[in-house]
Structure 1
Amino acid sequence: MDARESMTMTTIGVVRFTVGETPVELSVYWLNIYGGGLFLPFRDATYTSETYGAGRYLFDTIKGSDPVPFTHAQDEKQIMLDFNYAYNPSCSYNDRWVCPLAPTENRLDVLIPAGEKNYKEDRS
């Protein structure tokens, strides 16, 4: 994909949960490009030093990383989010890749110390 192209997503839902005592929410998207699929990008407070600065992905169904299926609980649908499966986008490994990053509404002020961390050595 060319860097000038836009990667459009449609918000299809919101997941609400707590981290410690802090209530948070993340938007879940449908990718409107190359085959579509559910997509959940996020950035948490670990981005400053522990994880990729632009955020990580929790799932991208077009690439085969599926969320735990929805189940019914009264009038709400539920999904299990396992942040141990959070991973870096392709662009974190190679500057030639262009990736959709975590939109503003998916930037959390809490730490989620799970999943893939930085892979690059600190050369300072």
Structure 2
Amino acid sequence: MSSDASTDWLDLLDWRREASALYAHVREELPQGPQEAHRLWQTGRNALFGNHPQSPLSLEARAAFRELPCWPYDPALAFSAWVDTSGPQERLTVPSSTGQEMPLVRFGRVYLPIGTLDVYWIDVYGGGVFLPFRDATSGQESYGGGRYLLDTAKSADLGSTASGELRLDFNFAYHPSCFYDPRWSCPLAPPQNVLGVPVRAGERMA
């Protein structure tokens, strides 16, 4: 391994540490004020995208970067829900943005006022709970491949309520890295995780 490649791995380690610390701070703020927690999340992601060597943005895009476009915070799109695990588990693969297959296990489902979404476990080393989705904005106002609401493998986790429900706040939905640069490989939202309504919350296209 070259010294440059070794530096890349260490930079990626630092990115994940920074992302983990950001979400930990957001989880602390959420019970006191969701809108302030959202501003903290935006500020932190903007700093990582604009300044970190592992930013999903290319060097050219990074030079012109100002902020990630987001819809204004909408409290009507912040939910909490139990994960219904009563159904059978299902193993499946979903395509990534580069054509590779990502193995998942569908282990539960959440029922939200705006629709039903399956909840997955990323079935590779380390794993993680994963909740991608598409909605009526996908391909027009947001990335056609979908956005991520929960990805614990990357520390993108708003935690749970005191009673144990998952916090599923669409204002924190974000685009996968492949939206910004095709060199990244990202799993796309499965066809069963499509909401029939527009979700104008979280990150959007410019």
- TM-aligned CA distance change 1:18 to 1:91, over 3 Å: same
RMSD across aligned C-alpha pairs, in angstroms?
A: 1.9
Task: Say which structure is richer in helix.
Answer: 2
**Deviation per residue, 1:54-91 (Å, 9 max, x gap):** 1000011011111332654xxxx632210011000111
TM-score (normalizing by structure 1):
0.79
- TM-aligned CA distance change 1:98 to 1:116, over 3 Å: same
**Deviation per residue, 1:20-55 (Å, 9 max, x gap):** xxxx10011100124200100000101132111110
Q: Distance in 2 between matches of 1:29 and 1:37?
A: 8
Given that residues 139 and 145 in structure 2 are in contact (C-alpha distance below 8 angstroms), is that contact kept between their aligned partners in structure 1?
no
Residue in 2 that maps onto 1:122? none
Q: Structure 2 matches for 1:68-83, cutoff 5 A? A: 68-69=159-160, 72=163, 78-83=165-170
Q: Distance in 1 between matches of 2:139 and 2:99?
A: 27
Q: Distance in 2 between matches of 1:48 and 1:37?
A: 26
Q: Distance in 1 between matches of 2:179 and 2:191?
A: 19
1:103 to 163, 168, 190: 190
Task: Say which structure is richer in strand.
Answer: 1
1:37 to 93, 117, 128: 128
Q: Percent identity?
A: 48
Q: Describe the SS at the equivalent of 2:105.
A: strand
Name the count of aligned residue pairs: 110
Give the drift of 1:4.
5.5
Runs of 5+ unmatched residues, structure 2: 1-95
1:87 maps to a residue whose letter is Y
Residue 27 (structure 1) aligned with residue 114 (structure 2): no
**Deviation per residue, 1:69-123 (Å, 9 max, x gap):** 2654xxxx6322100110001110111222111101101111111000014xxxx
Residue 58 (structure 1) aligned with residue 145 (structure 2): no
User: Could you say which structure has the larger radius of gyration?
Assistant: 2
- TM-aligned CA distance change 1:25 to 1:93, over 3 Å: same
Q: Distance in 1 between matches of 2:131 and 2:162?
A: 18
Q: Distance in 1 between matches of 2:119 and 2:180?
A: 24
Q: Distance in 2 between matches of 1:67 and 1:29?
A: 16
Q: Distance in 2 between matches of 1:39 and 1:54?
A: 15
TM-score (normalizing by structure 2):
0.49
1:86 maps to a residue whose letter is A
